[in-house]
């Protein structure tokens, strides 16, 4: 007879922590700061997704930069909806753009973790926009180009509003703002102030001037016939002085700030593929699924000075949902997280150990205090357990049913439908850290990599019925770099200039002491 789930939680949590510490023993990663730019150029678009493929609703769609999460109202070309930058929140913030008094519907758009590009038309006016998160700031830039092919001038208007609060409790639910702001317009600049905190907006063109009406700010310019205009709207949130300083810095060179953001994003993508192995296969969708899993390392990483840990990897991130750290979600990445950011894995484990695991199962990002509960979620975690339990056919069957995730969602939430292409909409956890467990199940499940108590590495791969060829290149573990290839009949392992082949279903042992390769008995 099984005990109630709540009775198993502390033991399972302790097991995750101990196993994670064993993996940490031989890896000395330095986090995102040690990036290599060697593969950034060809990897730049790896996480891009065409908007027409995305099934997420607007309320669940967002972008991040480690200090700020912004909602994207992708059905129109201009919409930004909500700002979450712990401890600051403006859940009802809105930036809206209109042509001739009407929204411009989006006809084409592209998502990437820090940026969204959109295009659309309203009558004879074509509009394109790019919303870019500015790394190192609680700020974003929305860049517009308006092209009027008509015979008459048309008004182009920006509107904004937002309540604002400073919140210390960032748990499972999205924090919501409830305090109205006072608006102050000063030419191209608009400040939405609430006490000592503020949202500051600025336009880099003298053709638009902000005006206020109650809690609404608006700026209008005329777009002449047969002409085009390009303009940037800079947005920053935080303490009044710091928000203004961020706006001033970006406003001085918006194009430079956007280019710098692109370079930093490319560096971070390069970091992912420098630290983690690359996957090759004749099944392209499987490779996309593996890659999409890795995006959660970028989406859920915060560098917020008010947080207890630096950096901090949250359970959720998009639109402020579930920014607390739940041990279940954290623990499910126990094998792959140390490969990517070993120092952060250590600090997070230590933070969990400061709490009473017999009573609590998460910690707050700002205070570090413990609380919460435990529950099991998501199919991709079951796959690895089935491989470890000696059930490769059942594991492969489930894995094959999940590959559609890669082509329909830019990131994955806490629950995804198993009987149709859909996801859970009644949860704030729309981008869960343990989405990286999909890549983990490929490395440690399909390829059968495991670390033994003596430090040796055992590789016992399994074939997939929907992929005749598989290769895992550059797996850095326990001070070794491994390349593993699987075909229909053999497994080949390379490390340190040595190569060994085993029959499919056999095992290879890599000695941590001297790097020797041998077939398992």
Give yes or no for a contact between 134 and 140, defined as CB atoms under 8 angstroms apart: yes
Percent of the chain with pLDDT over 90: 82
Strands 278-281 and 182-186, bridge-based pairing: unpaired
Buried b (16+ CB within 10 A) or exposed e, 234-271: bbbbbebebbbbbbebbbeebeebbebbbebbbbbbbb
pLDDT for the residue 379:
62
Give yes or no for a contact between 144 and 231, defined as CB atoms under 8 angstroms apart: yes
Reported as a pLDDT band with limits 50, 70 and 90, residue 521 is confident
CA dihedral 177, 201, 71, 365 (to 10 degrees): -60
Average pLDDT value for residue range 303-309: 97
235-273 confidence digits (pLDDT tens): 999 998 999 999 999 999 999 999 999 999 999 999 999
Give the whole-angstrom CA distance, residue 202 versus residue 75. Answer: 24
The two structure tokens encoding residue 521: 């008995």
The two structure tokens encoding residue 188: 């191209």
Reported as a pLDDT band with limits 50, 70 and 90, residue 419 is confident
Reported as a pLDDT band with limits 50, 70 and 90, residue 378 is low
SS3 of 55-100:
CCCHHHCEEECCCCEEEECCCECCCEEEEEECCEEEEEEEEEEEEC
pLDDT for the residue 182:
97
312's CB contacts (< 8 A; 6+ apart) are 301, 302, 303, 304, 325, 365
Give yes or no for a contact between 342 and 24, defined as CB atoms under 8 angstroms apart: yes
253's CB contacts (< 8 A; 6+ apart) are none
Sketch the domain layout of the chain as residue ranges. 1-34+276-441, 46-263, 447-521
DSSP 416: B
pTM exceeds cut of 0.85 = yes
**Scanning the structure block, which residue is given the tokens 């710091």?**
242
Give the whole-angstrom CA distance, residue 458 versus residue 484. Answer: 12
**Scanning the structure block, which residue is given the tokens 């290879």?**
508
Reported as a pLDDT band with limits 50, 70 and 90, residue 4 is very low
The two structure tokens encoding residue 247: 């706006």
The two structure tokens encoding residue 409: 């969602």
More confidently predicted of 308 and 359: 308
Provide the 10 A C-beta neighbour count for residue 1. 2
CA dihedral 303, 306, 310, 311 (to 10 degrees): -30
Reported as a pLDDT band with limits 50, 70 and 90, residue 234 is very high
Give the whole-angstrom CA distance, residue 354 versus residue 371. Answer: 12
pLDDT greater than 80 at residue 8: no
What average pLDDT does the chain have? 90
51's CB contacts (< 8 A; 6+ apart) are 74, 106, 108, 109, 110, 111, 118
Q: Outline where DSSP puts E strands in 425-513.
A: 449-451, 457-459, 470-477, 480-486, 490-495, 498-503, 508-510
Provide the 10 A C-beta neighbour count for residue 65. 28
DSSP string covering 315-350 = S--GGGTT-SEEHHHHHTTTTTHHHHHHHHHHHHHH
Average pLDDT value for residue range 83-103: 98
The two structure tokens encoding residue 9: 């939680």
37's CB contacts (< 8 A; 6+ apart) are 266, 267, 270
140-190 confidence digits (pLDDT tens): 999 999 999 999 999 999 999 999 999 999 999 999 999 999 999 999 999
Bridge partners (DSSP) listed for residue 200 = 191, 236
Give the whole-angstrom CA distance, residue 346 versus residue 371. Answer: 20
Provide the 10 A C-beta neighbour count for residue 301. 22
DSSP string covering 288-317 = HHHHHHHHHHHHTEE--TTSSSSSEE-S--
**Scanning the structure block, which residue is given the tokens 């095992």?**
507
pLDDT greater than 90 at residue 487: yes
Reported as a pLDDT band with limits 50, 70 and 90, residue 374 is low
DSSP 2: P
Here the contacts of 392-399 (C-beta below 8 Å, separation 24 or greater) are 392/462, 392/463, 395/445, 395/462, 396/446, 396/462, 396/464, 396/465, 396/466, 399/441, 399/446, 399/464
Reported as a pLDDT band with limits 50, 70 and 90, residue 42 is low
pLDDT for the residue 13:
41
Select 46-263's CATH number: 1.10.1740.10, 2.70.98.40, 3.30.70.100, 1.10.357.10.
2.70.98.40
């Amino acid at each position: 007879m099984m005990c109630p789930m709540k009775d198993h939680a502390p033991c399972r949590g302790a097991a995750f922590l101990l196993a994670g510490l064993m993996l940490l023993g031989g890896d000395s990663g330095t986090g995102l700061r040690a990036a290599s730019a060697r593969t950034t150029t060809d990897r730049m678009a790896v996480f891009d997704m065409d908007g027409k493929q995305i099934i997420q609703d607007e309320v669940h769609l967002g972008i991040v930069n480690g200090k700020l999460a912004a909602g994207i109202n992708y059905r129109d070309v201009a919409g930004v909806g909500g700002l979450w930058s712990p401890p600051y929140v403006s859940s009802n913030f809105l930036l809206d753009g209109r042509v001739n008094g009407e929204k411009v519907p989006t006809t084409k758009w592209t998502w990437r973790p820090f940026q969204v590009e959109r295009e659309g038309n309203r009558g004879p006016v074509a509009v394109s926009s790019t919303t870019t998160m500015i790394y190192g700031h609680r700020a974003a830039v929305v860049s517009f180009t308006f092209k009027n092919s008509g015979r008459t001038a048309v008004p182009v208007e920006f509107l904004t509003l937002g309540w604002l609060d400073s919140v210390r409790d960032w748990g499972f639910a999205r924090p919501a703002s409830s305090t109205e702001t006072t608006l102050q317009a000063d030419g191209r600049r608009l400040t939405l102030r609430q006490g000592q905190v503020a949202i500051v907006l600025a336009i880099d063109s003298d053709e638009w001037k902000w005006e206020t009406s109650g809690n609404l700010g608006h700026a209008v310019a005329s777009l002449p016939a047969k002409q085009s205009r390009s303009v940037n709207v800079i947005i920053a949130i935080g303490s009044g002085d710091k928000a203004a300083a961020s706006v001033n810095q970006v406003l001085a060179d918006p194009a430079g700030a956007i280019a710098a953001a692109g370079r930093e994003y490319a560096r971070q993508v390069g970091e992912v593929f420098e630290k983690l192995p690359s996957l090759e296969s004749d099944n392209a969708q499987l490779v996309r699924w593996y890659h999409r899993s890795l995006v959660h390392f970028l989406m859920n990483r915060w560098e917020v000075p008010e947080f207890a840990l630096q950096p901090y990897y949250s359970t959720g991130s998009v639109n402020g949902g579930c920014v607390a750290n739940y041990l279940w979600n954290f623990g499910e990445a126990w094998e792959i997280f140390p490969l990517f950011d070993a120092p952060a894995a250590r600090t997070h484990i230590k933070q969990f150990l400061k709490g009473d695991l017999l009573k609590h199962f998460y910690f707050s990002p700002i205070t570090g205090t413990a609380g919460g509960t435990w529950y099991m979620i998501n199919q991709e975690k079951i796959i690895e357990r089935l491989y470890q339990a000696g059930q490769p056919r059942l594991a492969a069957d489930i894995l094959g049913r999940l590959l559609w995730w890669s082509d329909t969602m830019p990131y994955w939430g806490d629950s995804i439908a198993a009987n149709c292409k859909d996801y859970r909409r009644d949860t704030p956890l729309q981008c869960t850290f343990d989405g990286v467990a999909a890549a983990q199940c490929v490395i440690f499940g399909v390829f059968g990599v495991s670390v033994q108590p003596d430090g040796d590495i055992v590789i016992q791969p399994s074939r997939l019925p929907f992929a005749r060829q598989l290769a895992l290149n550059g797996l850095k573990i326990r001070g070794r770099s491994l390349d593993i290839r699987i075909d229909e009949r053999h497994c080949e392992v390379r490390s340190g200039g040595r190569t060994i082949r085993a029959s499919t279903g056999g095992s290879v042992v890599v000695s941590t002491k001297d790097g020797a390769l041998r077939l398992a008995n």
